[in-house]
Amino acid sequence: MSLVITGASGQIGRLVTAELLKTVDASELILLTRTPENLDVPGAQVRAFDFHDASPEAFAGAERVLLISGSEIGTRVPGHKAAVDAAVAAGAQFIAYTSIPNPSDNNPIFVAGEHRATEEHIRASGVRWAFLRNNIYAEMQATALQAALATGKHVTNGGPVSFVARADCARAAAAVLAGGDHDGREYDITGSELFGPDELAALFSELGGKPVEAVQVSDADYAAGLVEHAGLPQPVADVIATFGTGARLGYSAVISPAVRELTGRDPEPAGRVLGS
């Protein structure tokens, strides 16, 4: 059986590959990446691949594909669609795609529309599929942790989120890609605990050993703070702020048993991820 991973040199791609190699021979892996020179997995096929130049040749021999969403936020959909079409043309029988929870029309998170469009295209392609709807990575709170410990304030425009470790996302993806009855499943890949602003501030305080207060601000003020204090361009700050908006409106307040169902182990606690 040939298993394909797109974005194989990225953080999730490398973790999925390492997980698969525990149970699958490297000769069964086809690793697609824009930077094949940076990926050394003895025994696996490493192929150059770009979403915007996707061809059936890149997926030659593919049976099951893990389509890890691309990194070019705002312009990903054409590349995702091209990759799906190329994989299907090459004879792939199953595609698992990394999405987000609740990629609905009403979800204000900027990337929700991209994920929704990709999911719809996969459904329409006729291929068997599963969606791995990864919640916000726990590791992405490391910068907020540092800022909170430096200032004593956790400034946010957000709401409750069940943060999930990248490693749990990778283990779940590896389990789905390797086989089993996952056709037509929509898995919410989440942590086991919701953290609102106050709970996250308390976690930061516990990890840092100093008081941290949650400070709720408007979406506009949060984006302005990212521009002023983090030096981000305004368009990037605006996109990041939408994740807080979506969380505040409940779109990220999802707790699912999928990690345990797929991996046989409980999700890593956010505190352990951030404290390691």
- Phi-psi bin for 194: left (phi > 0), alpha (psi -120 to 50), beta? beta
The residue to which tokens 């698969």 are assigned: 20
d(CA 258, CA 190): 8
Q: How many CB atoms lie within 10 A of CB 140?
A: 13
* Two structure tokens written together for 136: 């916000």
* Two structure tokens written together for 169: 């996302």
Whole-model pTM over 0.75: yes
d(CA 196, CA 202): 10
Please report which confidence band the pLDDT of residue 74 belongs to, taking 50, 70 and 90 as the band edges.
confident
Output the CA torsion 73→75→78→84 (10° steps): -10
Q: List pLDDT tens digits, range 121-178.
A: 999 999 999 999 999 999 999 999 999 999 999 999 999 999 999 999 999 999 999 9
CATH superfamily of 3-136+165-190+254-268: NAD(P)-binding Rossmann-like Domain (3.40.50.720)
Q: Residues near 150 by Cβ (< 8 Å), separated by ≥ 6?
A: none
Give the start-to-end residue ranges of the domains of the chain.
Answer: 3-136+165-190+254-268
d(CA 185, CA 205): 38
